[in-house]
Structure 1
Amino acid sequence: MSVDPSAKVHPSAVVEEGAVIGPDCQIGPFAVIGPEVTLGRGVVVKSHAVLTGWTDIGDETVIYPFASVGEVPQDLKFKGERTRLIVGKRNRIREGATLNTGTEGGGGVTRVGDDCLLMTGAHVGHDSQIGDRVILVNQVAIAGHCHIGDDVIVGGLSGVHQWVRIGKGAIIGAVTMVANDVVPYGLVQAPRGELEGLNLVGLKRRGVERSEITALRAAYQMLAQGEGTFMDRARRLSEETDSAHVREITDFILAASDRSFLTPK
Structure 2
Amino acid sequence: MPRFALISLGVILAIAVVVGLSATYTVSERESALVLRLGNPVAVINEPGDLEPGLHFKIPFVDDVLHFDKRNVEFNMAPAEILAADQERLVVDAFLRYRIVNPLRVYQTVRDERGLQQRLSAIMDDSLRGVIASIPSSEVISGQRAEVMNRIRLAAEAQVATQDIGIEVIDVRILRADLPQQITERVFERMRSERQQEAALIRAQGEERARQIRAEADREATVLLANARSEAETIRGDGDAQRTAIFADAYGQDADFFAFYRSMLAYDLALRDNTPIIISPDSEFFRYFENQAGEPD
Q: Which TM class, normalised by the smaller chain length?
A: under 0.3
Higher percent of residues as helix: 2
Give the alignment's TM-score, normalised by structure 2. Answer: 0.20
Instruction: Kindly name which structure, 1 or 2, has the bigger radius of gyration based on alpha carbons.
Output: 2
